[in-house]
Structure 1
Amino acid sequence: MSTATRLPLLKAVPPEVWTALTWCVATAYSLVMFVRLPGEVEVPFIPFQAPLDHTARSWSYLVVATTLALTGSALLRRRPLPAVVLLLAGSVAAAMALNSTQIAFLQFLAVDVALCFIAATQARRTSIAAITMGVGVLAGYAVARVLLGYPIGTSTQLAVALSAIVAWLAGNSIRQAREHAHAMVAQATTQAVTAERLRISRELHDSVAHSIGIIALQAGAASRVIDTQPSAARSAMTAVETTSRQTLTELRRMLGLLRDTDAAQHRASFGPAPGLADVERLAEATSAAGLQVQLRWLGDHRPLPTDIGISAYRIIQESITNVIRHAATTTCRVTIDQRDNELAITIDNDGRCRVQRTGTGHGIAGMRERVQLLHGHFHAGPRPEGGFHVIARLPVPAAPQ
């Protein structure tokens, strides 16, 4: 069973077919107007005569007009301006065949279809040239009849010119709407790519930077005691190996999510993403590396949405990493206060900054982005009594009853 989506009729039929069909139907209607059934009252004041009452010259004009119109319809997509010229010539020839005082709406209807298509698909310069030629031919036909002393139908001619302008405006509106839609799609695509790049950057930074900090601490401790305390050095290097393997696993998980089209299956193969339930394990690993993490829980412990849990964990992880890298202290305090509609996280320390911050890091910026994505509040800066603290408040949706 085929699942292909069928195009609407207006798009499935080529524009040249619509133009040719419009010409044929309008011409046939013009001829049918002169057929009178038995007993039917004659319609007075018809501005043209029927070709059936004329010589073969009228029929020859009509044949030439149809040939020009059908040829112009065939060229509409490849050569739009020559196609308009042929369609206009066909309209003039049809008006001459019917001995009309003006180019009537029926003879100009195919030109209107062509003008709408050209304005919708071609460049602005091409469409303006086409509408200029259309209005110019209408004006030229009226002027020629006046100069030759023939009557003209001014009101009908103006109405036909107005129909041409309306057709061009409709096509131009379609083109503008399509260009606007393309611009919106391009903008949305750019924003999605930028957001995904920032997300990947945050994940890589938060997952790798902390592990590298732990590895640096353990490796430094091992190098200092390798001669005096071989067992302690061996334990530190074992911790380096364990942390390195965990980092490699995290990197493989991230790269797999980027490569694999079935992200859910790949995520399941590497286990769930970290959340608040993993904070205690994070504190134990950090304490084993030399930084004592004092963890305090307040409020409830009900499950949180995945995005809030991941962000909370990453904020705590990055804050601890910054303490390891920049604060001359061995203690860090983490307070998690889970309320009914908010999750408050505070990470502070009493250490003194060992390096001059230049503002070029990505840790605090990444934490702020995470909080902003969840419409929360974030603050990071020095404490009045000394040290540094990070405060994040994340709104929590109400649990379903």
Structure 2
Amino acid sequence: MQRPLARLRVPDRPVLFTVVFWVVLAATGAVAYASEPSTPPWAVPFGVNLALVAVLWLLLPWRRCEGWRRLLPVAFLLATFALGFTGSAEIHQLLTLLAIANVAFVHGMRAAAVIVGCLTGALFVMTAVSSGRGLGEATVQTVLVIVFAAFVLGMTSAVLEARRRREEAQRLLARVRELTVAQERARMGAEMHDSIGHHLTVIKLSLENAERFRSRRPEAAWDEVRQAKELTVEALADARRWVRALRPLALEGRVGSAALQRLAASFDGTGLAVSFEVLGGEVPLEPDVELVLYRVLQEGLTNAVRHAGARHVDGTLTFSGEAVVLAVADDGRGRDREGRGGFGLSSLAERARAVGGTLVAGDRPGGGFEVRAELPVRAKVAT
């Protein structure tokens, strides 16, 4: 049962086309059989024709493809056209228009336009000559078919343009994400160079001084060694912080508030007391929203350790309807132009705007610093 249902939900096939197809197919069969009280001789071939049209519809591709599947639109077009000979009361022409639209999806608008020209010409000849209805009626019927064909092809063109724009937007979004990752890595590389590189440079100088003082001034040499040891501990703490910063969002299989709680707990060894609280009924978040929340908490904790001289940080995650709010507040020195207003927070503000949210940061009235992000539960494209 699942595979036929899956065919009905082909993502590339317009939903309106699906609805129109099944309604018209059912009407074609109902009208044809209702017009004959007894079983006509064409009932069997007409029924087979209807079944063939239905099967081909489920198999049709709805974008350019290669191989034998390229022939399916042509087969479907011929099958719908054949309904006029096996017993349809002209209602099948709407199915033929859908077949022309499918040709446009797979083979292009030019191929569909050529087919429309050929079919309308054949229809005019068949109506005027074969059916004997006269030129006037043939002209009216042909014009009606042309008008409907133009409407269907116009709708198809709009769908193709929307699809092209969506795919282009997806490519641009993927590119933006790549650039964001590259920018973040560059920032982290620069900060690692400034922090850990500085410590290693001073350690090297201290050990060189110790080597130079070891005979003439032993006490000074030991002072240099002790300083190098202290700087080594600080460099190791910095390295551990950067390892935490490079961890993925899902920590040991955790996502959502569990990942944020795990991140907060990972700062226990830094001398910073971190509390984290979740308020409101938690709801599943989109991955992009989760990532922004994770980076906001990460930036708030890292800055509290590196720049603020804070002893305690409070993190609060609040779920309220269609929004989620993360506030990270510390009891440190407050805003520092070098550490608190740089690339980190501006980059986070851009990320928040990208998912339809906001981020504000600044000194708290009672002292300390706070970062507050308010995001939608489901990411939106910022306007």
What amino acid is aligned across from residue 88 of structure 1 in structure 2? Answer: L
> How many Å apart are 1:373 and its aligned residue?
5.5
| Residue of structure 1 equivalent to 2:293 | none
Assess if the C-alpha contact under 8 Å between 2:32 and 2:87 holds in 1: no
| 2:92 aligned with 1:107 | yes
| 2:139 aligned with 1:141 | no
| Residue of structure 2 equivalent to 1:312 | 338
Using the size of structure 1 for normalisation, the TM-score is: 0.54
Aligned residue pairs total 277
Specify which of 151, 160, 165 is matched with residue 172 of structure 1: 160
**Secondary structure of 1:227's aligned partner:** coil
| Residue of structure 1 equivalent to 2:53 | 69
Specify which of 250, 272, 292 is matched with residue 238 of structure 2: 250
Larger Rg: 1
| Residue of structure 2 equivalent to 1:29 | 27
> How many Å apart are 1:198 and its aligned residue?
1.9
> How many Å apart are 1:65 and its aligned residue?
3.3
> How many Å apart are 1:84 and its aligned residue?
1.9
Assess if the C-alpha contact under 8 Å between 2:101 and 2:153 holds in 1: no
Quick one: distance in 1 between partners of 2:18 and 2:125? 27
| 2:181 aligned with 1:183 | no
Query: Cα distance 1:76–1:27, how it changes in 2: closer, same or farther (>3 A)?
Result: closer
Assess if the C-alpha contact under 8 Å between 1:62 and 1:93 holds in 2: no
Assess if the C-alpha contact under 8 Å between 1:81 and 1:130 holds in 2: no
**Secondary structure of 1:172's aligned partner:** helix
> How many Å apart are 1:138 and its aligned residue?
2.4
**Secondary structure of 2:92's aligned partner:** helix
What amino acid is aligned across from residue 135 of structure 1 in structure 2? Answer: V
Assess if the C-alpha contact under 8 Å between 1:222 and 1:234 holds in 2: yes
**Secondary structure of 2:188's aligned partner:** helix
What amino acid is aligned across from residue 224 of structure 2 in structure 1? Answer: A
Please give the per-residue CA displacement for 1:134-164, whole angstroms capped at 9, x wherever unaligned. 4245224325425647442122211231133
Query: Cα distance 1:237–1:90, how it changes in 2: closer, same or farther (>3 A)?
Result: same
What amino acid is aligned across from residue 92 of structure 2 in structure 1? Answer: Q
Quick one: distance in 1 between partners of 2:12 and 2:157? 20
Quick one: distance in 2 between partners of 1:21 and 1:302? 62
Query: Cα distance 1:374–1:269, how it changes in 2: closer, same or farther (>3 A)?
Result: same
| Residue of structure 2 equivalent to 1:159 | 147
| Residue of structure 2 equivalent to 1:3 | none
| Residue of structure 2 equivalent to 1:265 | 265
Q: Which moved more, 1:133-142 or 1:67-76?
A: 133-142
| 2:82 aligned with 1:93 | yes
Assess if the C-alpha contact under 8 Å between 2:21 and 2:98 holds in 1: no
| Residue of structure 2 equivalent to 1:215 | 203
> How many Å apart are 1:228 and its aligned residue?
0.9
> How many Å apart are 1:212 and its aligned residue?
2.0
Query: Cα distance 1:8–1:52, how it changes in 2: closer, same or farther (>3 A)?
Result: closer
Query: Cα distance 1:30–1:73, how it changes in 2: closer, same or farther (>3 A)?
Result: closer
Quick one: distance in 2 between partners of 1:34 and 1:149? 19
Quick one: distance in 1 between partners of 2:364 and 2:144? 70
Assess if the C-alpha contact under 8 Å between 1:221 and 1:236 holds in 2: yes
Please give the per-residue CA displacement for 1:13-61, whole angstroms capped at 9, x wherever unaligned. 99599978755531442465689xxxxxxxxxxxxxx852899465456
What amino acid is aligned across from residue 216 of structure 2 in structure 1? Answer: T
What amino acid is aligned across from residue 177 of structure 2 in structure 1? Answer: T
> How many Å apart are 1:248 and its aligned residue?
1.8
RMSD between superposed Cα atoms in Å: 4.5
Quick one: distance in 1 between partners of 2:365 and 2:102? 54
Q: Which moved more, 1:66-75 or 1:132-141?
A: 132-141
5+ long unaligned stretches in structure 1: 1-6, 36-49, 280-300, 315-342, 344-366, 376-394
> How many Å apart are 1:108 and its aligned residue?
3.7
> How many Å apart are 1:175 and its aligned residue?
1.9
What amino acid is aligned across from residue 70 of structure 1 in structure 2? Answer: A
Query: Cα distance 1:238–1:163, how it changes in 2: closer, same or farther (>3 A)?
Result: same
Quick one: distance in 2 between partners of 1:212 and 1:398? 33
In the TM superposition, what are the counterparts of 1:364-383 in structure 2 within 5 Å?
A: none
What amino acid is aligned across from residue 164 of structure 2 in structure 1? Answer: Q
Query: Cα distance 1:245–1:302, how it changes in 2: closer, same or farther (>3 A)?
Result: closer
What amino acid is aligned across from residue 241 of structure 1 in structure 2? Answer: K
**Secondary structure of 1:228's aligned partner:** coil
**Secondary structure of 1:52's aligned partner:** coil
Quick one: distance in 2 between partners of 1:200 and 1:72? 55
Please give the per-residue CA displacement for 1:151-196, whole angstroms capped at 9, x wherever unaligned. 4212221123113313421431342133023213202311221222
State, as a whole percentage, how many aligned pairs show the same letter: 20
Query: Cα distance 1:61–1:134, how it changes in 2: closer, same or farther (>3 A)?
Result: farther
What amino acid is aligned across from residue 312 of structure 1 in structure 2? Answer: E
Query: Cα distance 1:198–1:238, how it changes in 2: closer, same or farther (>3 A)?
Result: same
Quick one: distance in 1 between partners of 2:12 and 2:171? 26
What amino acid is aligned across from residue 53 of structure 2 in structure 1? Answer: A
| Residue of structure 2 equivalent to 1:84 | 73
Quick one: distance in 2 between partners of 1:60 and 1:127? 35
Quick one: distance in 2 between partners of 1:16 and 1:313? 52
**Secondary structure of 2:60's aligned partner:** coil
